[in-house]
Amino acid sequence: GLEKLFNLTILNLSYNRIHDLSGFQCLHGTNHKISHIDLHSNCVNNINHLLQCTKGLCCLTNLTLEKNGKANPVCHIAGYRETVLQMLPQLTALDGINISHEPVDPAEENCSDLQRLEDILGCLVSSGCPSSRYQNYVTLPVATPHIDQALAHFRQRTRIPVRSAMSSSTELVSSSEPEKAKLDKIYSEIRIKKPEDQISQILQKVSDTSRREAPPNVLKAKRDTDPTSESENESGKENNRKVVKRSKIPTYRRTTLSTRCHANHLKSKITDREEKKSSSKRPRSSQRDSHLSSSPDTRDLEVVGQKAEILTGRQSNIEKVEEINSNATEESTYRALIQELDQEKERRWKAEQAEKKLIEHVRELQKHAKEEKNIQSIAVYTTDRLKELILKERDVKARLQADVQQLKGETERLTNELNQARNKEAERQKAMQALEEKLSKMEMQRLQQRTIEMKQVQEAEFKASANAREVQLLRISFRQQKEKVKQLRELLILREQEQRKELETRVALNGPEFQDALSKEVAKEEQRHEHRVKEFQDRINMLNQKYAELEDEFRLALTIEAKNFKEVKEGFEYVAADLAEHKRALFEFGQKEKEMTSLIQDLTSTVEEQKAKIAELTKSNEEATANLKCRTGKLETVIEEDKQKAVQIELLKKENGKLISQLTAQESVIDGLKMERKLWGQELAQQGAHLAQDRGKLEAKIEVLTNEIEMLKRQKEQDSDTIKIKNKIVDDQTETIRRLKEGLQEKDKQMRKQHKENLEARKLFQVQLDEKAAELEELIEKLDRQNERKEELKQLLEEKEVELDDIKNAHSALKKKWQGKGELLSQLEVQVKQMKETFDIKEKKLIEERNKSLRTQRIAMEKLREMDDAFRKQLELILAAHQEELLQLANEKEKQIEAANEKVYYVEEEMRQLLQEMANNKKAMENKIRRLTHALNDFQRDL
């Protein structure tokens, strides 16, 4: 849709989700005038795509991808600004910063454009009303330097991007733009001064030549009239057609002084004009300078040719006067004729002055007619512009209705999503309640298991204390046995002594009695020893059984704890998954809420903008109608005054043929000026699209023009007074006045026609204004409807906010529950740690007691071995068989002890493995609890 918008200069596409810029490719080339593009707060992420789509925009000077913190993903790429400015040399500002890294104020550019357009209109007004009364004397080609300058500057402003696009690299042109502007200003002032200096020099030359060539005795001269405004190329045709006219006026010393004063007055005006132009701060373009530098040369040539003709006429008159002076006989008659001629010349001079004033009055009337036409054209243009604005507002209204429908659909969709979310939340709450019930059951089971474990631990402690008591009893019995062994040794020693004594005294060793006694005692001792060994084996078996029972109980407790840990772990994972789902749902709801708030803000801003636009339109329409009424009243008063002046002019009677020819020449000049005005009007109509935004300033200019019209009315009143005074002088010129009367009647007819046309145009404007008022009423009604819809949407938003508050309250309650559960978990962790510490302490105690019992057992075995060795040494010869049996029994006991030690070692290894597994499980549980705490903390932060 942007292909046909050739005069589009500013395009704002900010705050959208645009990522594809291929639509700008249809705007490539010099036909389109787009210069400002705003794309901030979009989704443009490919810098190559951006450069490809904007490289062909020749007039692009300002590109905004980042503004007020709202950017595109492209802006975060390294070297983004340098690459864009290098690849797009036509840019003068990127993201509100120019090439010299200075912030750009967009209001200054708009103000400069408006000021230039105001200069154009001001120059049009100033060119339409000539200020000097000496404008009639020289009819040179019409020069409008201010208009040409402003238009050239405006065109150059649109051509600068094209030139920069033709150049492949961004040189130091952008940095030296103010210097170029200064140089252009200086050159333009110099070029404007040149033709004015040349005109002043020509006037000085003419005045000097007139002074030199005038004889001292005869004070005759001829007054010059206004030459036509044709160029030097058409001078031959003018000579053939005899269009250039002159009027003869008596030129004594008084008249020469008047011509000198006239020249001096022109010089002073030219110097004032130069000072004004040099003091003005408006930039002048080089294109207008070249035009100005070429046009003054042709003007100088025309003026020089005309002055030469005037000088030749003067020389011929001087020669005639000299011939008259040569005739001495006719001096008396010559003096009388001179007096008559002087009187006639004075009369003619007065008549010419009156004629000039009448011509000025006619020109003023023509100016008023042209101003009325301009006002009508401006009114037509404003009506067209208002129509366009109304059409645009209709389009905007249709778009807003479509947006409202889209928003309705989105609100319905969001309400459905909210209902779904509520259902999901209800389901989740039910699931949470079920989980809470499960957790409470798990906690009850844990408490029961803990009580059971505590009971088991207490029983194990009791058993350990019983074992310790048994160990103490065994130690006591071992000590008693040691004492008994000592006593036995003493008894053995005593018996040996007794036996030795008896052997010495009584019995021999190899006797049968001795052997029988030995065999009996050995049998007794063996029976005792076997009985003790059986008792020790029974005790060892009992201890092994108790130890195996303790191991089985400990394994059962570990398996139960592992099952409980698995169940807790599964519940924790399930709860963590639910938490993640709840977080996601909350995050999605937050995003949707943000989107809804942003959409509502956009809608409110658009509605406010529409209200402001409609208020501005109504104000502008009212102001336009008031201005039109004021202008029509003023024009009616002006027309009445013109009629009165026409009645006064009817009293004037005579006029010379020269004046008629001058009037025809001036009418031809006026026709040429009209054609030039039409051309300027066409150019201004073409540039009217650029002046659409300057409506308020144009109205201010129109007010200034009305003030100028009042000033002109005052001047007209003064002129009417002067005309009344000089009516007596013009009584002799009735014929010329009749002809003027006919011309004025024709002009009156034209004025009446224009007045009728103005009335018809007013009627049309009133009809159009009524239609626009009806349309504005319709728009206001539609805006009221939209406001009602907006209030309904606000109510819906309030309801949704209330629902969101309820959801937040429920969420806070759930959060509190989870905090309580977290505290319970922390307490459970503390209790588990305490249980572990007590278990470790008890385990260490049991290990120390086991080590002590093993040491005592080893010491006892060593002592028994020593006793056996001593007993064997003593009874080697006698008790060899007994010793062999004792050795076998000792070997068997050692094997049993080693087997028992191996069992103890295996049990220790199993305990160590179980402890390692418990430690690993504990670490995993701690890590999971830490993760859960982190997740809960993150969840709290998100909330």
pLDDT in tens, 660-677: 666 677 677 777 777 766
pLDDT of residue 438: 77
Residue-wise pLDDT tens digits, 544-556: 787 778 777 767 7
Strand order in the sheet with 97-98: 10-12, 36-38, 62-64, 93-94, 97-98
**174 or 310, which is more confident:** 310
| CB hemisphere CA count around 348 (13 angstroms) | 18
Q: What is the pLDDT of residues 472-499, one digit of tens each?
A: 777 787 778 778 777 777 877 887 777 7
Q: Return the number of other C-beta atoms located less than 10 Å from residue 655's C-beta.
A: 23
Which of 135-139, 281-285, 732-736 is most confident? Answer: 732-736
Residue 253, pLDDT > 70, answer no
The CA distance from 57 to 28, in Å, is: 5
Mean per-residue pLDDT, 912-934: 84
So what CATH class is 10-98? alpha beta
Q: How far apart are the C-alpha atoms of 184 and 181, rounded to whole Å?
A: 5
Nearest to residue 364, comparing CAs of 35, 623, 68, 713? 713
Q: Of the candidates 562, 580, 571, 579, which has an alpha carbon nearest to the alpha carbon of residue 437? A: 571
Mean per-residue pLDDT, 273-300: 40
- The listed range with the strongest mean pLDDT (46-55, 269-278, 538-547, 836-845) is 46-55
The per-residue pLDDT for range 841-876, each reduced to its tens digit, is 877 887 887 788 788 778 877 877 787 676 667 667
Does position 123 have pLDDT exceeding 50, yes or no?
no
228 vs 156, more confident: 156
Q: What per-residue confidence (pLDDT) applies to 279?
A: 43
Does 102 or 66 have the greater pLDDT score?
66
In this prediction, residue 92 has a pLDDT band, given cuts at 50, 70 and 90, of confident
Burial of 294: CB neighbours in 10 Å, binned 0-12, 13-18, 19+: exposed
Please give the pLDDT value at position 91. 86
Beta strands 97-98 and 93-94: pairing type? antiparallel
736 CB-contact burial (10 Å; exposed 0-12 / middle 13-18 / buried 19+): buried
What is the pLDDT at residue 695?
A: 66
DSSP 247: -
- Between 268 and 557, the more confident residue is 557
- Tell me which residue of 322, 126, 316 sits closest to 218, measured CA to CA: 322
Query: Quick one: pLDDT at residue 338?
Result: 77
Token pair belonging to 390: 């109304």
> 214-241: per-residue pLDDT in tens?
443 433 333 333 434 333 343 343 344 3
Q: Is 97 helix (H, G, I), strand (E, B) or coil?
A: strand
Picking from 462, 358, 233, 455, the residue whose alpha carbon sits closest to that of residue 727 is: 358
Q: Can you give the pLDDT at residue 696? A: 66
**Could you report the per-residue pLDDT of 371-422, keeping only the tens digit for each?**
878 887 787 787 777 778 778 878 888 888 787 777 777 778 877 877 787 7
Q: What is the mean pLDDT of residues 255-271?
A: 42
What is residue 685's predicted lDDT score, i.e. its pLDDT?
Answer: 66
Q: What mean pLDDT, rounded, does the chain reach? A: 69
Rounded distance between C-alpha atoms, residue 241 and residue 335, angstroms: 37
Cβ 890 vs Cβ 860: under 8 Å: no
CA distance 790 to 142: 60
- pLDDT higher than threshold 60 for residue 252: no
Which pLDDT does position 319 carry in this prediction? 56
Residue 931 has pLDDT above 80, yes or no: yes
Confidence of residue 506 (pLDDT cuts 50, 70, 90): low
Compare 212 and 242 and report the one with higher pLDDT.
212
Which of 279-283, 439-443, 654-658, 891-895 has the highest mean predicted lDDT (pLDDT)? 891-895
Q: What is the DSSP string of 832-875?
A: HHHHHHHHHHHHHHHHHHHHHHHHHHHHHHHHHHHHHHHHHHHT
- Is this model's pTM higher than 0.85 or not? no
Phi then psi for residue 57, to 5 deg, are: -80, 95
Q: What is the pLDDT of residue 198?
A: 61
Domain extent listing, the chain: 10-98, 108-326
What sections of 244-330 are H helices per DSSP?
A: 253-279, 286-326
CB 15 within 8 A of CB 70: yes
Q: Yes or no: say if 306 and 244 are a contact pair by the CB < 8 Å rule.
A: yes
Residue 177 has pLDDT above 70, yes or no: no
Window from 52-61, 164-173, 625-634 with minimum mean pLDDT = 164-173
Confidence of residue 753 (pLDDT cuts 50, 70, 90): confident
